[in-house]
Chain A
Amino acid sequence: MNEFAEETIHPDLQQNIRRLREISDNTSDLMVNEFLLSGIPAALLTCEGMVATSIITELILEPITHVQLSAPTAQTVFSHIQNRLLLSLDRSEAKNYRDLFRFLNSGFAVLILHGASSALVFGVQGYDKRAVMEPSGESNIMGARDGLIEVVRINMSLLRRRMKTPFLKMELFPVGDKTQTDLCLCYMHDRVPQKLVREIRERLQSTELESVLSTGYLQPFLENRRGNLFDTVSTTQRPDVLCAKLLEGRVGILIDGVPYAMIVPKLFSESFQTMDDYCFRPYYTTCIRWIKYLAFLITLLLPALYVAVALHHPELLNRTLLLLLAQSEENAPLSLTAEAIGVLLIYEIIREAGLRLPKAVGGSVSIVAGLIIGDAAVSSGLISTPILTVTAIAVISGFVLPDLNQPLTLLRLGMILAGGLWGLFGISLVGAAVLFNLCAGESFGMPSTAPIAPFRRKSMRDVLTRVSFRKMQSGHFTVEEYHE
């Protein structure tokens, strides 16, 4: 904890300014404008680049320099400004240096007065920010086009625009000793279990983090068990998705500086749902959803099954397929397991390279990977065509479920290894372990595998199928129903 955290504001203006400069070590972006306010020495503190200069001039400096009281003291001037002048909608008072710096560095203008042991703060933020635009990661066809941005207050407004009910509650509080990042806890207070909100708030406020720069910093504090392969906290860039989740009694967490919202709890079945599912006709959505389930199995199991069957259980293949595989693998210099793992590792390397490189260079990575490596490896006989085809199908199927990319990448490799070493028996064993790991996932008492295990027949209407909103409109489902 900083030594100045609880230190109250010094009533002497010059000593106060000296102390402020001392704490901030004469930082260049601290702007101090001294002037006389109704005859009392005063100073307006701002952080350069964080405030809108025109707003300060017009709405703060102009009115307060005209204040003339008959017997002015620090208290009467403050009281006059507080009660008679509505300089800003976002007004507050800082009692100590920690609060003062938090407001100052959040883009507030801070008014300090000789003789006053507190400071008045006015919200006049005017820093540059990215415009609200379509989210890059969660594109859809018929849903809304706006996505969350880095400014928490804009994100709150995006949410409020969709949810005009007074039951939507947003709680702002700072987290992170050094960054003092604003966190906004959002929930529908008529739907959410109060115990869930209380527990999340307590966990977030009890963190001893110095900084919160992304969702990953807070995620471990919201997860109940280590060793889970699958996330129990979901993230979204879309305000409409966040609204839908809040209406189901979940809690959303917006972080200042992060264009993602975290949602607690997350169910595994949500990885197969998108906003478009609720825009298209139910029969089409049901079909697409089953394709996604199939894609999940393909991306996880196909390369491993191929390796296991080809190496250990060739009797399971029909004659034509067996001859085809035997012919293509005849001249391959590497074992099938090594080939499969090698191809997948190369794919991961190429993917990582494409992600991190500048976009201009990223395109050439695809050309080198696809044309040169792929074509050359097959024509030189280093890699067989079937393994390349199987891997490509598995990888493309994985693109259908971007939410599950991380666990699937690791599990795919594990499955291939198990299939290569122990055949279908190995795949079954790893599969059983993964199934148990998935079932062990729990978020604040809500099992990840709900509504399949524990089974809820009513919820199957949005898991196995997607029924029409005529049927879904009744019932007011909340995630609390799954609590165990």
Chain B
Amino acid sequence: MNRIRSGQLTTALLLSNAFMLMCMSAPMGMESMWGAVIAFVLQGILCIPMLLLYKEGFTLTAYCSRKHYIVPLLFVLYFIVRGGISFLLLWKGSEHLSLPFSQPLITAALIGAVCLYTASLGLRTFARAGTIAFGFLIFTLGILLLGAWQRIDFQQLYPTADNTVFGSAMHILSLGDTLPALFVLLSFTDQKSAFSSLRFLGLSLLLWEVILFLCITVLGNLLSAAEYPFFLLTSVSQPLTTQRADAFYLIVFVLLCVIRLTLLTVLSAHLLGMLFPGLRCRSILSILGMIGAAAAFSAMGFEENLWCIIGIVLFACVIPLLFCLRMKKNPEWKEEPTS
């Protein structure tokens, strides 16, 4: 896996987060905006052990080369599960996107096929594509703001009865599943890991706050009936009077979905490759695993909940913390293996 720049790390994770934001279906209110602040502060705190670990010189490549299988396999499992959840969100979201076919399996197969190709091109290609997609995202936000600003009603910013700050914070934290990806990606990033992480969290918070603010102030009373507030926001905020711009949001949504799934596939395939160098078709295995997980979650009626938060805390904080504590006894985790 090639190294990527700290800016590319920020954009890649931010885009992955943006997809989750688009798919957010929880009730929204002013509490959500405070909840987002708390959730991102918590994420910042959760990052501290991994930043300390990387400051010590830890690399995942060196760790894996010492034949430690369990932790990397757990990460692979985590990425596959999160990929499955992403597929599930896509299926649910696609009902609101007027796709020309109703069968979720076709959607998954098409997205899977594209992700297979994009993941095969490697992390560096992914990072470059992320930079361009970030430009699209900014442009989309510009169009959204252009359509929404005349409909903003500040009087809609009031506390709601069916929402709490804590509840919102926990829900947003459960969606912030990119921290474990950040832990793995920091192994392949140039220095400035603390700066990259802070920038990523800061920009993510800004994005969440902007979208939440627009959803609350533009949609107003419609918000309580909206299953997917972002999609409703795009329908309501049309920048042109004679022509709808929904097509543009659909294109960006699919692009973000591909980027997110590619990230998860690249990471899981790469970890599998580090553990089992002889293993072939790693990307295919990862994608199939994600589709399988999505089908299972769909059958079980999966909801974003406490388990997601436990997963994030475990992979983003507890494991790095344990590594930090054992680092002194294992100085070989520091060096890159020479090939």
Contacts and interface: CB of A to CB of B under 8 A. Distances in A.
Interface of A: 305, 309, 311-313, 315-318, 421-429, 431-433, 435-437, 439-440, 447, 449, 452-455, 484
B129 interface: yes
B5 A312 contact: no
A454 B135 CA distance: 12
Contacts of B135: 452
B250 A433 contact: no
B254 A432 contact: yes
Contact of B255 (A311, A316, A428, A440): A428
A439 B132 contact: yes
B7 A432 contact: no
B131 A455 contact: yes
A455 B125 contact: no
Interface stretch (B39-47, B111-119, B268-276, B316-324): B111-119
7 contacts: A424-B247, A425-B99, A426-B100, A428-B253, A432-B254, A433-B117, A440-B122
A481 to B, nearest CB: 13
B101 A316 contact: no
B114 A316 contact: no
A436 B254 contact: no
Contacts of B222: none
Contacts of B98: 312-313, 315, 423
B73 interface: no
A422 B128 contact: no
A464 to B, nearest CB: 11
B125 A454 contact: no
Contacts of A309: 247
Given A428-B255, A452-B131, A484 B118 contact: no
Contact of B118 (A318, A432, A447): A432
B97 A453 contact: no
A422 B117 CA distance: 19
Given A428-B255, A429-B114, A436-B125, A449 B250 contact: no
B110 interface: yes
A181 to B, nearest CB: 35
Interface of B: 2, 5, 7-8, 94, 97-101, 107, 110-111, 114, 117-118, 121-122, 124-133, 135, 242-244, 246-247, 250-251, 253-255, 258-259, 262
A484 B124 contact: yes
Contacts of A428: 250-251, 253-255, 258
B12 to A, nearest CB: 11
A170 B8 CA distance: 38
A305 B124 CA distance: 30
Contacts of B122: 440
B255 A436 contact: no
Contact of B131 (A311, A312, A453, A484): A453
Residue of A305, A309, A425, A429 with most chain B CB atoms under a 10 A cut-off: A425
Given A424-B250, A428-B251, A447 B117 contact: no
Residue of B128, B129, B254 with most chain A CB atoms under a 10 A cut-off: B128
Given A422-B110, A429-B110, A440 B250 contact: no
Given A315-B98, A449-B132, A439 B125 contact: yes
A428 B130 CA distance: 15
Residue of A312, A315, A436, A454 with most chain B CB atoms under a 10 A cut-off: A436
Given A313-B98, A429-B111, A455-B7, A424 B251 contact: yes
Given A428-B250, A454-B8, A422 B131 contact: no
Given A433-B114, A439-B121, A440-B121, A425 B126 contact: no
B132 A452 contact: yes
Contacts of A437: 121
Given A429-B111, A433-B117, A447-B128, A422 B243 contact: no
A50 to B, nearest CB: 49
A425 to B, nearest CB: 5
Contacts of B251: 424, 427-428, 431
A424 B254 CA distance: 9
Contacts of B100: 311-312, 421-423, 425-426
Residue of B107, B125, B135 with most chain A CB atoms under a 10 A cut-off: B125
Contacts of A422: 99-101, 110
Contacts of A454: 5, 7-8, 128, 131
Contact of A316 (B125, B133, B246): B246
Residue of A317, A449, A453, A484 with most chain B CB atoms under a 10 A cut-off: A453
Contacts of B130: 453
B250 A425 contact: yes
Contacts of B247: 305, 309, 313, 316, 424
Nearest to B94: A425
B131 A425 contact: no
A424 B97 CA distance: 10
A128 to B, nearest CB: 49
A428 B136 CA distance: 12
Given A432-B259, A433-B114, 19 more contacts: A305-B247, A311-B100, A312-B100, A315-B244, A317-B244, A424-B251, A425-B100, A425-B250, A429-B110, A429-B114, A431-B255, A436-B118, A436-B129, A440-B121, A440-B125, A452-B132, A453-B127, A453-B129, A455-B7
